[in-house]
């Protein structure tokens, strides 16, 4: 992979945003232009970054869903869960929890069902809309 580099005062600056084109081609783009872009080296080697891919303090766990379309991450202060969508290259949602997550497991092929073990000895089951059930381990 080759990145564009500018060297100013012995400081290398890499351009990682790629071209100004987006990942998906617009519908109005003709098929011939679409085929030309697929052969373009800059188009095929571009890098796209997910917006807001971070946490205010730190992230402890990060897992990709079994279908490979989403990334679920948990962070600390304030304890929260964030889901990132690879297709749209953006954050899908974030949800705050009462306690810090120690570990979690994605129960469905996508992000819609998950189980979270928290440091206050509780287990939370989340669905796509909210926390579904919470129980405490003795």
Average pLDDT, integer, range 89-112 = 86
pLDDT in tens, 108-129: 888 888 888 888 889 889 888 8
- In this prediction, residue 18 carries a pLDDT of 52
Structural tokens at position 131: 């926390």
Side-chain-side CA neighbours of 28 within 13 Å: the count stands at: 0
pTM of the model: 0.62
Full DSSP string of the chain: ---EEEEETTEEEEE-S--S--SSPPTTS-HHHHHHHHH-HHHHT---PPTT-S-SSEEEEEEE-TTSSEEEEEEETTTEEEEEETTTTEEEEEEE-SS-EEEEEE-SSSSS-EEEEETTTEEEEE-SSSEEEEEE--
Average pLDDT, integer, range 31-58 = 72
Structural tokens at position 134: 């919470």
Structural tokens at position 77: 């202060």
Phi and psi angles of residue 31, each rounded to the nearest 5 degrees, phi first = -65, -35
Alpha-carbon distances, residue 114 vs 54, 80, 88, 134 (angstroms):
20, 14, 21, 12
- In this prediction, residue 30 carries a pLDDT of 60
Do the Cβ atoms of 51 and 91 come closer than 8 Å? yes
Average pLDDT, integer, range 97-102 = 87
Average pLDDT, integer, range 65-81 = 87
């Amino acid at each position: 992979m080759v990145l564009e580099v500018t060297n100013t005062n012995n400081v290398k600056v890499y351009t990682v945003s790629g071209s100004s084109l987006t990942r998906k081609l617009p519908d109005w783009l003709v098929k011939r232009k679409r085929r030309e872009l697929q052969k373009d080296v800059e188009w095929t080697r571009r890098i796209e970054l997910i917006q807001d891919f971070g946490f205010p303090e730190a992230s402890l766990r990060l897992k990709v869903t079994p279908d490979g379309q989403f990334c679920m991450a948990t962070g600390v202060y304030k304890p929260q869960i964030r889901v990132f969508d690879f297709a749209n290259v953006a954050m899908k949602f974030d949800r705050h929890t009462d306690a810090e997550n120690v570990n979690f497991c994605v129960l469905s092929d996508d992000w819609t069902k998950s189980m979270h073990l928290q440091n206050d000895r509780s287990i939370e089951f989340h669905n796509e809309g909210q926390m579904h059930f919470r129980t405490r381990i003795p």
